[in-house]
Amino acid sequence: MQATRQVVPARRGYDVEPFPPSRRLVTAALRSGRRIVPMHGLFEVDISTARRELARYDPPASLTAFVIACLGRAVAAHPEVHAYRDWRGRLVRHRAVDVQTLIEVPTARGPFGLVHVVRDADLRAVADIGAELRAVKADPASTTSGRLLDIAAPLGGRIPGGYRLMYAVLRRSHRAHLATGTVQVSAVGMFGGGGGFAIATPTLASLSVIVGGASSRPLAVEGKVEVRQVLDLTVTIDHTVVDGAPATRFAAEFRSLLTSAVLLTGQPGHTGPVVAAG
């Protein structure tokens, strides 16, 4: 005879605590993106070749680093997708591609997505970018944003409207975009397992990519059905500065780089060097 499992009732009531300054930063960033008119594209990308090549690295290379490197080359080939308007309404296009990404780090109030900017993502090797992301994860204080997290976030939270003013400046300033990057990548798939898309509210960047889930799925390959590794991506572009046709050409370039994995295999015809920038 099986023993009856005793159900322990949940503790009723509620807890109240101050809203963390780090979350106020996120709230202000989301408000700053209201001027962006988002155009979303949801893509399934065959990354079977990339997965195989990434596994050959020691340690295995980061899928996020691979996405950032491919994205950097595609943006360099189609610079209109990361353009934005400045204080005078002029269109600004940066010649370099600096990609902002989020790295989860521990804080006194729990895990937080630390903003880190990968410089010259259109020129650097995948392994180089991956090593940088691992270093920031291991020691957040090694970066400027990591050092400011415990200082600027609490201080700014005490100034009424301080965060909103900061992001209003960041949204239009050339110098601010040089510091914070013009493209954003967020990886959420590693937390869920399996396939899946995510659509995030725009913040400062005119172009953002959400790396969703990866899973094994049947795909048609040269007239035959094969089980392949497929990655779900959400690409969001500011429709106020880019139309559908150039956005589509950019997406095709981005997909081709991901699918062919030329930045890992060194095949001819790739866009940009595969070696790290000096």
The pLDDT score that the predictor gives to residue 91 is: 86
Say whether pLDDT at 263 is over 90: yes
Partners of residue 205 on adjacent β-strands: none
Closest CA to 93 of 11, 200, 194, 174: 174
- The pLDDT of 227-234, averaged and rounded, is 93
Q: How confident is the model at residue 88 (pLDDT cuts 50, 70, 90)?
A: confident
Q: To which residue do tokens 């239009």 refer?
A: 172
252, amino acid identity: A
Domain positions in the chain are 21-265
- Entry field: residues in the chain: 278
Task: Encode pLDDT of 176-216 as tens digits.
Answer: 777 778 899 988 765 556 677 878 777 777 899 999 888 88
16, amino acid identity: V
- The pLDDT of 206-228, averaged and rounded, is 89
Token pair for 237: 């572009």
Token pair for 132: 């940088």
Report whether 201 contacts 33 (CB < 8 A). yes
The pLDDT score that the predictor gives to residue 269 is: 41
The pLDDT score that the predictor gives to residue 213 is: 83
Say whether pLDDT at 249 is over 60: yes
What's the pTM value of the predicted model, to 2 decimals? 0.78
The pLDDT score that the predictor gives to residue 103 is: 85
- Was domain 21-265 assigned CATH 3.30.70.100? no
